[in-house]
Amino acid sequence: MSFSPMMEEGDILYRNAFENAAVGIAYISPEGQWLRMNKRVAEMFGYTPAELEALRFQDITHPEDLDTNLDFLKEVREGRREGYKLEKRYFHKAGHIVWVNLSVSCIRDTEGKVRYFISVLDDITEQKRVRQALDESEARFRGYQQTSPDGFMLLHSLRDQANEIVDFVWDFVNPAGEMISRQSKADLIGARLLEVMPSNRSLGLFDAYKKVVETGETWQGEISYPRQTHGIVWLRITAAKVDDGFAVSFQDITEHKDAEIRLRESQDRQRRILDNVVALVGLLRPDGTVLESNKPSLMAGGLQRQDVVGKKFWECAWWSYDPDVQASIRDAVMRAAAGEQMRFDVEICGADGKRIPVDFQLAPCFDEAGRVTEIIPSGIDITERKLAESQREMLVRELSHRVKNSLAMVQAIASHTMHVESSIEAFRESFSGRLRAIAACHDLLIATTRSSANVAQLVSEQVSPYTSPQAERVTMSGPPIILGPEASYAFGLILHELATNAVKYGAWSNETGSVSVSWSAKLGKDGRTEVIVDWRERGGPKASPPERKGFGSVLIEESLSHSLGGQAHIEYAEEGLNARFQFPVEGVA
């Protein structure tokens, strides 16, 4: 039969409100038949009004909600309640679920029986979807927080009457937060931050959290945190604003920090070691980029660490003096990067612009797979070695020169002595004495500077074999005067000849005669320093000129004129031999 409650009421305004209501409104028979519904109901379930009127509400109700709905209807029919509210599910015509917030009331006849039910249906499907998503998100959040190794806490602000934040109160703590803080959730939830952990203020954490809440800016930091009874813990903390409070996550990085400190101490120790070795040492990547350079290498080039770290090794100032050297260093680094150990001598540019010779090496470092991971350049200053090599070469040349000169002198002495001596015994005595004089000069040169001799030492060496200076038969006086090697040999032979002549014929041929040797220096006409040596004999036999010119006279004349570039004046006086020698010298000490 046709049923039209709205027409019976005859209220046109009510009908308009019914048809255009934002919620679904339907009239349902006691048996569940859809008697009449507004267009919102049809839209809600995807049916036309005619299709719904052919159905009962039981036909589109989710089975899990049907019994509850029928029980409420039964209670209304029996008069135990006038209406009810229920969240229930319907099936949309397309098959998906529609969640509805259902409010049901009834209209009764005069006998109290239910004529029809009035159902108001509010579609809450989207609300349910959002709530479900939130529930799922919260479940995931709680699941993550239960298993996360990072501590996590939620705190809300505690404000005073001026709306200033004076503290924070815990709302949530995850298990890792309990473990890291060594505080139970039961003791923290609802407690105030500064009361439980007052060090948050002295460490600056409270001010950091307050700024997060006031500005909305996330804060991150690492801090050494003192726990009340469990020592120091290093924490990496991140705080972000949540409503009128903040969420804070934190990691225990104590082991990492301890390892970092140990690594830094190890690196500092290695750097101190490297900085105190004599060698110039560095560290390169395989592509030649400088990673480290020790103090001696930086000082050698007058550089700072920032001048070289990050640059290609061959582009550093050590090699800037020559593009060819830079190219050779680059090639050597590339060969070392391929696994070859390199060693060669090269010069680096020193702090004062002078070049420093170094014994240079490039040593590749390999990983377990045999790949070159780093290259260690090192060098040793070989300036002294180079000087020693140069000195050795000079000495070899000097030795060669001296040997040649000595051999020539020995040959000349032998030849002249042979011509003037009348017997083998006389030749042997004269020749041996002259060789000893040469040897004495040579020993003197070796014992002093190896290239020069003092006149005083030379006189003493040549005179001492014949008479002791302490015997008061010889006196020596004069300033320090230095002779070169050739002059030392020549003048030493002259002194030898004078001494042997004094023993044979002069002042030392008796028991009372004496010899005085004096020398002085003056500036010559050519601007060079000249030495004047006086040999005076007293108390011996009368000095007489030789009947023939012997080798001694020849040696004295030739030595002075050829070797010394000087001249001699010899006087055979009644009181003894007087000889004066004048020749240029290298200098006066």
**At 101, which amino acid appears?**
N
User: What is the Cα–Cα distance from 223 to 233, expressed in whole angstroms?
Assistant: 8
Query: Where do the H-state alpha helices sit in 10-93?
Result: 12-20, 39-45, 49-53, 57-60, 63-77
Higher pLDDT, 395 or 217: 217
The pLDDT tens digits of the residues spanning 385-402 come to 888 777 677 656 655 654
How many other C-beta atoms can be found within 10 angstroms of the C-beta atom of residue 420? 16
Higher pLDDT, 159 or 265: 159
Return the CA Rg of the chain: 59
The pLDDT tens digits of the residues spanning 224-257 come to 887 656 667 888 999 999 999 999 999 888 888 7
Angle between helix 551-558 and helix 485-504 axes, rounded to 10 deg: 150
Q: What is the pLDDT, as a whole number, of residue 181? A: 85
Among all chains, which residue has been given the structure tokens 């001026």? 162
How many other C-beta atoms can be found within 10 angstroms of the C-beta atom of residue 571? 12
User: What is the Cα–Cα distance from 384 to 309, expressed in whole angstroms?
Assistant: 29
Q: What is the pLDDT, as a whole number, of residue 285? A: 93
Sign of CA dihedral 471, 473, 477, 483: negative
Q: Closest by alpha carbon to 314, among 304, 322, 303, 302?
A: 322
Q: Please, are residues 529 and 587 in contact by the beta-carbon 8 Å criterion?
A: yes
Lowest mean pLDDT among 40-49, 273-282, 567-576: 273-282
**Secondary element (H or E) of residue 439:** helix 424-447
Q: Please, are residues 106 and 83 in contact by the beta-carbon 8 Å criterion?
A: yes
- In degrees rounded to 5, what are phi and psi of residue 111? -95, 0
380-383 contacts at long range (C-beta below 8 A, 24 or more positions apart): 380/278, 380/279, 380/280, 381/278, 381/280, 381/300, 381/356, 381/357, 382/345, 382/357, 382/358, 383/356, 383/357
Q: What is the pLDDT, as a whole number, of residue 516? A: 92
572 has a pLDDT exceeding 50:
yes
Most confident of 18-22, 162-166, 411-415: 162-166
Angle between helix 485-504 and helix 455-463 axes, rounded to 10 deg: 40
Name every residue whose Cβ is closer than 8 Å to that of residue 225 and which is 6 or more positions away in sequence.
199, 203, 232, 233, 234, 235
What separation in angstroms does the CA of 329 have from each of 332, 348, 358?
A: 5, 11, 13
The pLDDT tens digits of the residues spanning 453-509 come to 788 888 887 776 666 544 578 888 998 888 777 777 777 778 877 888 888 888 888
CA atoms within 13 Å, Cβ hemisphere of 404:
6
